Amino acid sequence: MDSEVLRLSQPYTPLRTGTLIRTGILGTEVGSGLVQWVAPYAKVRYYKPAKREVGLRGAYWFERMKAVHGVKIIKKAKAMMKGKG
């Protein structure tokens, strides 16, 4: 599920050079259930909107992604759990 969260978060994550998106991938051990953006500036970018964000990208990217895709993520997680049991 963590890889799905990263994939769905990408269009919402601020993009200047792509480093913030890459640090989400680097900071997440797939299968652990913990998604982390480990760039030193990630916390600032998460809570403080930038002046030049375009489209969906910007602050609170995870919360905004969840508002749009949360139900889909939960359904997929439940389906995965049923497949394991």
pLDDT at 84 over 80: no
Output the pTM of the full model. 0.84
Q: What is the pLDDT, as a whole number, of residue 31?
A: 87
The domain ranges of the chain are: 2-84
Listed as own residue / partner, the contacts of 76-81 with beta carbons closer than 8 Å and 24 or more positions apart are 76/1, 76/4, 77/1, 80/1
Reply yes or no on whether the pLDDT at 39 is more than 70: yes
> How many H-runs (helices) and E-runs (strands) does the chain carry?
4, 0
Chain position carrying tokens 């609170």: 60
